[in-house]
């Protein structure tokens, strides 16, 4: 299987020779169009992993490859969304979502000429996340959950091949969160981009992912892998079925084992 994203025995050290070792010997592969979830204890280097894959931070050792190329700078094909939606308050929601098109090629070249089409595309995307008609509002006129939906739209507007999500739903209430799981699953089933999702919520990981990786505590590396073979589309009701719950428990045991190791 060809690897779309590949980390090979990677170390990541912050701040000089006696700084923090965030990752040690981390290896992973993600196939094109695969939905990968990464779970692990707090501070184990999950966000650092995202920085490596997107080329925002170089590895201290080992190699990172994306789409067949060695990563030696920002990859330029990734859409990102974080726990905090970070919308620009002086731009309307639509203009926030269009921001990537003002930067990334080839959209950038045609941005002015295709203004109308772009806005239509953004409106359509807003409608799919349940924000139809809110494009002209400013982000501070939206609730936190609505801003997070908009930030998902911003991550997807330029149709990235790689979507990087760092705990995007962590700050939301349970209902909104589960609703956005469905939204994300639908988008993914439709477009089949490659996704790496970092999360603390094991149900979220099992519900969304094809494969879940468990990381050790810092310095982080991959200690367990679980393929999720549940049929798609998955319904929220499915998350209460015994086989689903069993997988969640299995992952929870892995995390506890990792955290035990941390204490002793």
- List residues near Mg ion by CB under 5 A: 47
For the chain, first and last CA: distance in Å?
Answer: 39
DSSP classification of residue 216:
P
Question: What is the footprint of another protein within residues 39-98 (CB under 8 A)?
Answer: 51, 54-56, 74-76, 78-80, 82, 84, 86, 88-90
Cβ-contact 59, 50 below 8 angstroms: no
Write out the two tokens for 154: 């911003």
Those residues with Cβ within 8 angstroms of residue 41's Cβ, 6 or more apart along the chain or in another chain: 215, 217, 255, 258, 259, 262
Using the rule CB under 8 A, which residue among 26, 52, 104, 165 binds another protein?
104
Question: What is the footprint of another protein within residues 220-239 (CB under 8 A)?
Answer: none
Q: Measured from the CB atom, is 50 or 157 closer to ligand ATP? A: 50
In angstroms, give the least distance from the CB of 193 to ligand ATP.
22
Helix axis angle, 144-156 relative to 115-128, nearest 10°?
130
Q: Measured from the CB atom, is 47 or 92 closer to Mg ion? A: 47
Integer angstrom CA distances of residue 2 from 38, 65, 74, 152, 259:
20, 12, 22, 27, 33
Give the three-class secondary structure for 122: helix
Q: Which does 43 bind (CB under 5 to 8 A by kind): ligand ATP, another protein, Mg ion, none?
A: ligand ATP
Q: Please report the sign of the dihedral spanned by the C-alpha atoms of residue 198, residue 203, residue 208, residue 214.
A: positive
Using the rule CB under 6 A, which residue among 3, 11, 20, 130 binds ligand ATP?
20
Q: Measured from the CB atom, is 82 or 181 closer to another protein? A: 82
Q: Is 102 among the residues that bind another protein (CB under 8 A)?
A: yes
Query: Which H or E run contains 205?
Result: helix 202-208
Using the rule CB under 6 A, which residue among 32, 47, 60, 128 binds ligand ATP?
47
Q: Which does 104 bind (CB under 5 to 8 A by kind): another protein, ligand ATP, Mg ion, none?
A: another protein
Question: Among candidates 37, 36, 34, 43, which has minimal Cα distance to 14?
Answer: 43
Question: What is the footprint of ligand ATP within residues 207-236 (CB under 6 A)?
Answer: 218
Q: Measured from the CB atom, is 103 or 246 closer to another protein? A: 103
Q: How far apart are CA 8 and CA 170, in angstroms?
A: 29
Interface segment toward ligand ATP; rule CB under 6 A; list 41-49, 65-73, 133-141, 173-181: 41-49
Q: Residues 217, 185, 35, 87: what is their CA dihedral angle, to the nearest 10 degrees?
A: -60
Residues that bind another protein (CB under 8 A): 51, 54-56, 74-76, 78-80, 82, 84, 86, 88-90, 99-100, 102-105, 138, 140, 154-155, 158, 164
């Amino acid at each position: 299987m060809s690897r779309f994203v590949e980390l090979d025995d990677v170390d990541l050290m912050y701040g000089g020779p006696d700084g923090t070792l965030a990752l040690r010997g981390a290896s992973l592969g993600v196939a094109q169009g695969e939905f990968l979830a990464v779970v692990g204890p707090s501070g184990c280097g999950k966000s650092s992993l995202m920085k490596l894959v997107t080329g925002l931070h170089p590895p201290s050792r080992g190699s990172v490859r994306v789409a067949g190329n060695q990563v030696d700078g920002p990859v330029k094909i990734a859409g990102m969304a974080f726990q905090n939606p970070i919308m620009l308050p002086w731009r309307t929601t639509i203009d926030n979502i269009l921001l990537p098109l003002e930067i990334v090629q080839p959209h950038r070249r045609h941005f002015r000429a295709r203004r109308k089409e772009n806005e239509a595309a953004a409106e359509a995307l807003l409608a799919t996340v349940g924000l139809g008609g809110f494009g002209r509002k400013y982000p501070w006129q939206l609730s936190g959950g609505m801003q997070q939906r908009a930030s998902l739209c911003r991550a997807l507007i330029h149709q990235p091949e790689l979507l990087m999500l760092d705990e995007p739903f962590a700050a939301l209430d349970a209902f909104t969160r589960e609703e956005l799981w469905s939204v994300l699953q639908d988008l993914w089933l439709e477009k089949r981009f490659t996704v790496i999702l970092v999360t603390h919520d094991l149900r979220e990981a099992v519900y969304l992912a094809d494969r879940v990786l468990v990381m050790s505590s810092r310095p982080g590396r991959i200690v367990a892998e679980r393929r999720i073979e549940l049929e798609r589309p998955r319904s929220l009701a499915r998350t209460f079925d015994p086989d689903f719950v069993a997988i969640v428990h299995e992952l929870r045991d892995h995390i506890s084992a990792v955290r035990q190791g941390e204490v002793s």
